[in-house]
Amino acid sequence: RGLRPVVVGSGADKPLAAAIRQVCPQALDLTGQTTLPELAGLAARAQVAVGNDTGPMHLAATMGCPSVVLFSADSNPALTAPLGRVPGQVCVLSVRDLATLSVNRVAAALSCRH
């Protein structure tokens, strides 16, 4: 729908990025290639960010990027969810096991973010 996914993370995330590119060849793999200031710049220009409860998602929210943040039972969004600049900027999806989170549910959350 007009969005080009950009996959970020450490070099250890390269296998995950490769799996994403198998199903989404237009995705740009920047794993292991970005500094924190560069991530902030990407987030400032992104239409939306999606990811689990990690530092880059907090950075995206701080930069004002509409965000969908995925939580499992391993962390409590009431305590650790990123805070956006404006109400409604951050959408939290929380499930016991992320493997059970449907693509449709994430897509629905994404569709109202951009």
Query: Would you write out the chain's pLDDT as a tens digit for each of its 114 residues?
Result: 678 999 999 999 999 999 999 999 999 999 999 999 999 999 999 999 999 999 999 999 999 999 999 999 999 999 989 988 888 899 999 999 999 999 999 988 987 665
Model-level pTM? 0.87
Surface-to-core class of residue 26, CB atoms within 10 Å of its CB (0-12 exposed, 13-18 middle, 19+ buried): exposed
Residue 39 lies in a domain: no
Q: What is the per-residue pLDDT for 41?
A: 97
- CA Rg value for the chain: 14
- Structural domain span for residue 65: 48-111
Residue 88 lies in a domain: yes
- Is residue 98 located within the same domain as residue 57? yes
Count CB neighbours of 108 within 10 A. 13
The tally of domains found in the chain comes to 2
